[in-house]
Amino acid sequence: MNQTERIYRTDLKLLRYFLAVAEELHFGRAAARLNMSQPPLSIHIKELESQLGTMLFIRHSRSVALTHAGKVLMEEARLLLQAANQALAKVEQIGRGERGRVELGIVGTALWGGLRPFFLRFMQENPTVDILFREKSPGMQIALLENHEIDAGIWRMATTLPLGLTGERLRSASYLVALPRNHRLAAYSAIPLGELRNEPFVTLPAAHSDWSFLQKVCFRAGFSPNIVREAVEPQTVLALTSMGVGITLMADSYAQMNWPGVVFRPLEERIPADLYIVYDASQLTPILQRLIGMLKSADIEEMKETEAL
């Protein structure tokens, strides 16, 4: 093993003892500063010199001076101890939930609607916490959770979860029918699901979206949706809808945005598009716990507003 590969096992405590003597240049004053007696301090300094194989101090009968090696170590020790204190303080803050990082799997529409202001508030109130969003399908989020690659996942609908994962509802939401502006059903204030029986549908791929669930809803209503076109992005689906290619079902958060040529109508039979957060309770950190609490308050505040109307 060469010199650069050598592993040093010097205790940080020895560096603190050394730094006190180096700054005071007097063993007695350094011992008083460290709240200890002088003989043990002298022993610790000799121990450090022995570990490093070099003299750090030139000792005279009434004075102490630093060797060249001692002067270099004084500067390096200051940097080391400062870095150690910063690292430990950072870890302590993470333990208290004051700083750190939360990595979330998420469906894109979760950032619209009721949750968006609460994410914004959390980031404003916790500027030392980074939130990273990874837009993934529910199936992919479950895989990432099981591999501990994300801290939590957010998607729509209650899902049968693998053992070890916990799900909590964050916000009540519904699917709406998105129609071309001049469509005959645009005149309805609420549309019966059966009225969609003979309509052409434009959808997202079932494997990467909620469409497998929505297909089952249509099956239970007695028909199979006539899917004439699939698109990868929701905005493409809505663009095709505006052109009259077909209709689609979208979460109500999309209705908050302006889509030229598209109107949204509720269904008589509500199809839930509730948002859930899913996580491994054994991996729950103080930061994630606080974030979940804030996001859950979105639904509570919405219910209060509804009751007040």
Buried b (16+ CB within 10 A) or exposed e, 41-65: bbebbeebbeebeeebbeeeeeebe
Question: Of 269, 263, 176, nearest to 222 (Cα)?
Answer: 269
CATH homologous superfamily of domain 175-266?
Answer: Periplasmic binding protein-like II (3.40.190.10)
- Going by pLDDT thresholds of 50, 70 and 90, the confidence category of residue 307 is very low
Q: What average pLDDT is seen over the chain?
A: 87
Q: How many whole angstroms from its chain centre is CA 217?
A: 32
- Going by pLDDT thresholds of 50, 70 and 90, the confidence category of residue 301 is low
Rg of the chain over all Cα atoms, to the nearest angstrom: 32
What confidence tens digit (pLDDT) does each residue in 6-49 have?
666 778 899 999 999 999 999 999 999 999 999 999 999 999 99
Just give the CATH number of 12-96. 1.10.10.10
d(CA 234, CA 81): 53
**Number of alpha carbons in the 13 Å side-chain half-sphere of residue 299:** 14
Which residues belong to CATH 3.40.190.10 in the chain?
100-172+274-307, 175-266
Which architecture, in CATH terms, is 100-172+274-307? 3-Layer(aba) Sandwich (3.40)
User: Which residue in the block uniquely carries the two structure tokens 């400062």?
Assistant: 82
Q: Output 129 or 303, whichever has higher pLDDT.
A: 129
pTM above 0.85, yes or no: no
Q: What percent of the chain has pLDDT over 70?
A: 89
| The predicted structure's pLDDT at residue 304 | 46
Q: What are residue 45's phi and psi, to 5 degrees?
A: -65, -40
Beta bridge partners of residue 103, listed in sequence order? 132
d(CA 215, CA 248): 11
Task: Please state which of the ranges 8-17, 28-37, 86-95, 133-142 shows the lowest mean pLDDT.
Answer: 86-95
Amino acid at 214: L
Q: Tally DSSP H helices, then E strands, for the chain.
A: 9, 12
What confidence tens digit (pLDDT) does each residue in 96-109 have?
666 678 999 998 77
d(CA 247, CA 202): 6
Which residues belong to CATH 1.10.10.10 in the chain?
12-96
By DSSP bridging, strand 152-156 and strand 275-280 are antiparallel
d(CA 61, CA 64): 8
| The predicted structure's pLDDT at residue 2 | 52
Q: Is the pLDDT of residue 238 over 90?
A: yes
Distance set, CA 85 to CA 72, 156, 222 (Å):
20, 43, 66
What confidence tens digit (pLDDT) does each residue in 65-84 have?
999 999 999 999 999 999 88
